[in-house]
């Protein structure tokens, strides 16, 4: 039986972009208004009441447009701003939109005037953008919106999809009540609550799946994506007294953060990253059992606090700050994030130092192994057997280990990974992106 065609119904505000566009337009248009703060608050309240299902969408929209006092010049400024505010995981996966241009629909209670210029950069077709439109005066002042558009009404997204009569498997991705209504009405097969920018508890609790990033959505649906494994699935354990700014660097990178006073046993088998406050320790037994641990960031000197030799043998990259510079609050988390994103071990305490660029349109594979003769020949024999074209390859060694990074530009099957993991003397293997 042929597979059903899939359609991806994606919201715009706080989903495709990090912000609510009408709220941002108000900040631009009311910049010099004496009561701007009070008006901003009213507009934000109307937005949230509608998103949480506490006020009808049409009532919320009418009130917000009335308060805006915006014109076409303000719109131009807004578009420029929104282009810089596309959600990180959406911009990272631009290639997906290019490949699936026919199946991606932007369905929003926002306005085409600012949505179209932003999403068109991602190869989304103009005819697949469904949104409201403003009504302007001859001199460009926004005075109203088209009330005949179903998207300006309560339950507008449901009405639109009833009219479109799409046949196939329909996935909805959004952060608000109007997105959930599509699932509630049976118009879509699954609703994914998108929480990268905002998590509304009333919506999250009703979702088929909570997706903290677009990478997560692509991953669970086995769709092509920019990174092989969603960062929100990587557990980053922060231990001890750590400056919130330091933590925010890793949080903004999309990692799942847990801040604890000690390395609790329940986290040992699942933790991928550990960030340790100066003075904290990890015992050898915990290190041995932390099978998924890839890197440790130590905010001070790790000497006598972590067994660096054991970390090396386990394939765990350690970054520390031997000079214990208090002004370096971003140094360690940025090194950790860079390692997770590109494989760079630059300034690591225990690994061969390797700094390398990201290669576009390729897959990056990391192989950590014991430094024994002939192992690179075995790795490349595996690639040859699977007809893999190598774009670039880097190898750095020390007396204990070899650290090999291979960029390939071809599709691969899962058997390739199994073969690389099975090579004798392999310590760790992972696909970076």
Label residue 257 by pLDDT band (50, 70, 90): very high
Q: Is 17 in the same domain as 152?
A: yes
Same domain, 334 and 421: no
**Nearest-angstrom CA–CA distance, 210 and 191:** 9
Mean pLDDT score across all residues of the chain: 92
One domain, residues 98 and 175: yes
Give the model's confidence band at 203: pLDDT under 50 very low, under 70 low, under 90 confident, else very high: very high
Contacts within 8 Å (CB) and 24+ apart, 121-129: 121/83, 122/86, 122/90, 122/91, 122/94, 122/97, 122/98, 123/94, 123/97, 123/98, 124/97, 125/101, 128/101, 128/102, 128/104, 129/105
- Distance CA(274)–CA(235), nearest Å, equals 9
Q: Side-chain half-sphere of 18: how many Cα atoms within 13 Å?
A: 11
Q: Which residue has the higher pLDDT, 110 or 225?
A: 110
Same domain, 85 and 187: yes
* Residue 1 placed within a domain: no
Same domain, 52 and 197: yes
Say yes or no: 212 and 241 in one domain.
Answer: no
Is residue 421 scored above 90 in pLDDT?
yes
67 has a pLDDT exceeding 60: yes
Sign of the C-alpha dihedral, residues 187, 109, 87, 272?
negative
Intra-chain end-to-end CA distance of the chain, in Å: 32
Residue 227 located in a structural domain: no
Question: 128-172, pLDDT tens digit by residue?
Answer: 999 999 999 989 999 889 999 999 988 999 999 999 999 999 999
pLDDT at 181: 93
Mean pLDDT of 364-369: 93
Scored b (16 or more CB within 10 A) or e, 294-329 reads bbbbbbbebeebbbbeebbbbbbbbbbbeeeeeeeb
d(CA 286, CA 291): 10
Q: Do residue 315 and residue 378 come from a single domain? A: no
Please determine, for residue 120, whether its predicted confidence score (pLDDT) is greater than 60. yes
Taking the C-alpha atoms of residue 191 and residue 204, their distance in angstroms, rounded to an integer, is 10
Q: How many CA atoms lie within 13 A of 122 on its CB side?
A: 26
Give domain status of residue 327, yes or no: yes
| Mean pLDDT score, 266-283 | 94
Range of the domain at 371: 363-431
- % pLDDT > 70, the chain: 98
* Phi, psi (degrees; rounded to nearest 5) at 176: -125, 175
Query: Whole-model pTM?
Result: 0.81
pLDDT at 59 over 90: no
CA dihedral 293, 294, 300, 302 (to 10 degrees): 70
- Residue 203 resides in a domain: yes
What is residue 111's three-state secondary structure? strand
What tens digit of pLDDT does each residue of 77-119 get?
999 999 999 999 999 999 999 999 999 999 999 999 999 999 9
* The two structure tokens encoding residue 200: 């509304």
Predicted confidence band of residue 1 (pLDDT cuts 50, 70, 90): low
CB 354 within 8 A of CB 346: yes
Residues in the chain: 433
Same domain, 126 and 55: yes
**Domain end marker among 199, 221, 243:** 221
What total of structural domains would you count in the chain? 3
Q: How far apart are CA 17 and CA 4, in angstroms?
A: 29
pLDDT value, residue 337: 93
pLDDT of residue 228: 82
| pLDDT tens-digit map of 301-360 | 999 999 999 999 999 999 999 887 766 678 999 999 999 989 999 999 999 988 887 777
265, HSE (Cβ side, Cα atoms, 13 Å): 1
Q: Are the C-beta atoms of 275 and 335 separated by less than 8 Å?
A: no
Chain position carrying tokens 């108000």: 26
- Domain stop point among 167, 190, 221: 221
What pLDDT was estimated at residue 127? Answer: 97
Question: What is the dihedral angle through the alpha carbons of 417, 421, 422, 425, rounded to the nearest 10 degrees?
Answer: 150
From 317, 240, 236, select the one nearest 276 (Cα to Cα): 240
Can you tell me the distance from the alpha carbon of 407 to that of 171, in angstroms, rounded to the nearest whole number? 32
Q: What is the pLDDT of residue 168?
A: 94
- C-alpha distances in angstroms, 371 versus 5, 31, 228, 389, 412? 49, 62, 27, 24, 26
86, part of any domain: yes
Q: CA separation (Å) from 427 to 103, 398, 421?
A: 42, 14, 8
Identify the CATH number of the domain in which residue 402 sits.
3.30.70.260
- Evaluate whether residue 12 is within a structural domain: yes
**How far apart (Å, rounded) are the C-alpha atoms in residues 210 and 232?**
11
CATH of the domain at 263: 3.40.50.720
User: pLDDT category, 405, cuts 50, 70, 90?
Assistant: very high
Residues 116 and 161 in one domain: yes
Residues 6+ apart with CB under 8 A from 124: 97, 101, 104, 106
């Amino acid at each position: 039986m042929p597979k059903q065609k899939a359609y991806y119904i994606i919201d715009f505000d706080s989903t495709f972009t990090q912000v609510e566009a009408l709220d941002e337009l108000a900040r631009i248009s009311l910049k010099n208004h004496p009561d701007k703060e009070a008006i901003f608050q009213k507009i934000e309240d109307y937005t949230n009441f509608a998103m949480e299902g506490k006020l009808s969408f049409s009532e919320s929209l009418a009130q917000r447009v009335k308060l805006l006092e915006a014109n076409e010049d303000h719109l131009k400024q807004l578009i420029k701003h929104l282009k810089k505010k596309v959600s990180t995981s959406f911009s990272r996966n631009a290639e997906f939109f290019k490949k699936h241009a026919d199946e991606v629909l932007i369905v929003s209670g926002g306005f085409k005037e600012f949505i179209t210029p932003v999403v068109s950069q991602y190869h989304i077709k103009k005819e697949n953008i469904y949104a409201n439109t403003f009504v302007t005066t001859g001199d460009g002042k926004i005075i109203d919106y088209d009330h005949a558009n179903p998207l300006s009404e309560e339950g507008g997204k449901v009405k639109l999809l009833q009219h479109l009569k799409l046949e196939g498997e329909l996935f909805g991705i959004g952060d608000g009540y109007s997105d959930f209504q599509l699932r509630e009405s049976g118009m879509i097969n699954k609703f994914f609550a998108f929480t990268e920018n905002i998590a509304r508890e009333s919506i999250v609790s009703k979702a088929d799946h909570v997706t903290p990033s677009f990478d997560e959505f692509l991953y669970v649906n086995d769709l092509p994506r920019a990174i092989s494994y969603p960062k929100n699935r990587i557990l980053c354990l922060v231990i001890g007294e750590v400056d919130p700014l330091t933590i925010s660097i890793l949080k903004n990178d999309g990692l799942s953060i847990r801040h604890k006073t000690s390395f609790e046993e329940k986290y040992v088998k699942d933790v991928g990253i550990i960030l340790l406050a100066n003075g904290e320790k990890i015992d050898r037994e915990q290190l041995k059992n932390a099978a998924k641990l890839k890197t440790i960031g130590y905010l001070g000197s790790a000497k006598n606090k972590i067994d660096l030799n054991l970390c090396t043998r386990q394939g765990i990259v350690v970054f520390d700050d031997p000079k214990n510079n208090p002004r370096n609050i971003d140094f360690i988390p940025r090194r950790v994030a860079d390692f997770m994103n590109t494989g760079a071990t630059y300034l690591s305490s225990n690994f061969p130092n390797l700094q390398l660029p990201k290669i576009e349109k390729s897959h990056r594979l990391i192989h950590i192994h014991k430094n024994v003769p002939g192992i690179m020949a075995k790795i490349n024999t595996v690639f040859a057997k699977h007809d893999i074209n190598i774009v670039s390859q880097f190898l750095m060694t020390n007396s204990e280990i070899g650290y090999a990074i291979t960029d390939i530009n071809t599709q691969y099957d899962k058997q390739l990974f199994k073969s690389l993991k099975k090579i004798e003397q392999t310590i760790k293997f992972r696909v970076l992106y």
